[in-house]
Structure 1
Amino acid sequence: MTVKRLQNSYHVVGDVAHTRAFYETALGLPVKFADGERWVQFDAGANFAIAAPEEAPAGVRGAVVVFEVDALPALCERIEAAGGRILGRRDMGEHGRTVTAADPEGTVFQLFERART
């Protein structure tokens, strides 16, 4: 019932197509996965992505760190017991589910649990 790994880091951007072109051209990052104008994940040795505002927690701009976990409900309880807040939950079907949380200082992060098959 702990974090397995840093699953992803993504940056909320206003213009996904323009920002995608920048990272592909300027840094030569290959695209691993793209969901139209909503989400582009690059292979940077670790998962790095850019996301449209509608893919991010409401009002968040900049970087969001995503931790992969294997016991989402238990970790949510631990976050709240330690003074954090659960801000939202999202079921992504066959991809898994996420929880958006904030630490006691208000820093937003997410937990991701893969769908069980």
Structure 2
Amino acid sequence: MTEATRRAPGSPCWVSLMAHGLDATMDFYGGLFGWEFHPGPRQLGPYVRALIDGKEVAGVGRLPADPRLQVAWTPYLATPDVDRTAEALRCCGGTVGVGPLDAEDSGRLAIVTDTAGSVFGLWQAAGHLGIAAGGVHGTPVWNELVTAETAAVVKFYRTVFGYQESRDPVAAGHGDRDDGPEDYVTLVRDGLPVAALRGVGKALPRDRGSHWVTWFQVDDVDTAVERVAELGGRVVDPPEDGARGRRATVTDPEGAVFNLVGSGR
């Protein structure tokens, strides 16, 4: 595991889940990943940070009491100036839903959407640099945007964050040429893959639209999938082997989608 470091602009630095039942959500992820929790910034409402061996790996907050609000994992992209990035995002056709606002002395944030309607966060780090652990069970390791087609939205991310692009998911170190769609773009920053866009065409869920999916590393995918079911979650795609290891897609009891990937990936 590694201490949190300041990420390059455009790099994913944090993941956060907003749920209706905070206590039940903590029980689920604590049982699945072994997370412990401590309070987060008060400006975010009821909000906790998840820890592994005392190191922060994710955030969990409570949604307002509105059943129409979607429960989902949200990645945050690092920026040295959240206000400037938010303005650039607006100029490129994105929208700002929340903020920019300060989160005590931790940093400054905004919740935004891209041109396909996918929600993500912007994070300008101060006292809180982001994910502080990696390479062990229960840590986020990758983020993919699932959308109908990548051609338009990739222009948005390239313009706002200055990404380079790779159309070879295996060469970039993520994805699976064996079973993945051809419409797959890896976003590259300073020569390193940081996230990906996956075009799925008509297979895009109508009830979700374009959305980001976070991948969490686990010691054993099959065991973790069984645990998901025991804790009240649901299996969307059962475990299977791909070019980069064993993986599965699941949801928590409130329907938040995420991927599990084996540590041998």
Q: Same fold per TM (> 0.5)?
A: yes
Closer, same or farther: CA 38–68 of 1 in aligned 2, 3 Å: farther
| Residue aligning to 2:241 | 91
1:24-78 deviation digits (Å, cap 9, x = unpaired): 2331012356458521122358832211126x8x625311111122211111121
- Residue identity opposite 1:48 in structure 2: A
1:106 pairs with 2:240: no
The 1-side partners of 2:166 and 2:263 are apart by 18
| Residue aligning to 1:49 | 196
CA offset at residue 96 of structure 1? Answer: 1.3
Q: How does 1:1-117 map to 2 (within 5 A)?
A: 2=33, 3-31=137-165, 34-35=168-169, 37-43=182-188, 47-53=194-200, 59=205, 60-61=208-209, 62-89=211-238, 90-92=240-242, 94-113=243-262
The 2-side partners of 1:96 and 1:14 are apart by 25
Identity within the alignment, %: 27
Name the SS of the counterpart of 2:228 in structure 1.
Answer: helix
TM-score by length of 2: 0.37
2:144 touches 2:198 (CA, 8 Å); kept in 1? Answer: yes
- Residue identity opposite 2:185 in structure 1: V
Of structures 1 and 2, the one with the larger relative CO (CA 8 A, separation 6+) is: 1
Residue segments in structure 1 that go unaligned for 5+ positions in a row: none
- Residue identity opposite 2:220 in structure 1: A
CA offset at residue 4 of structure 1? Answer: 4.8
2:248 touches 2:260 (CA, 8 Å); kept in 1? Answer: yes
- Residue identity opposite 1:6 in structure 2: P
Count of residues in correspondence between the two structures: 113
The 2-side partners of 1:73 and 1:47 are apart by 26
CA offset at residue 79 of structure 1? Answer: 0.9
Q: Highest Rg: 1 or 2?
A: 2
TM-score by length of 1: 0.74
Residue segments in structure 2 that go unaligned for 5+ positions in a row: 1-31, 34-136, 170-180
1:7 touches 1:47 (CA, 8 Å); kept in 2? Answer: no
Choose 15-24 or 62-71, whichever is displaced more: 15-24
Closer, same or farther: CA 115–87 of 1 in aligned 2, 3 Å: same
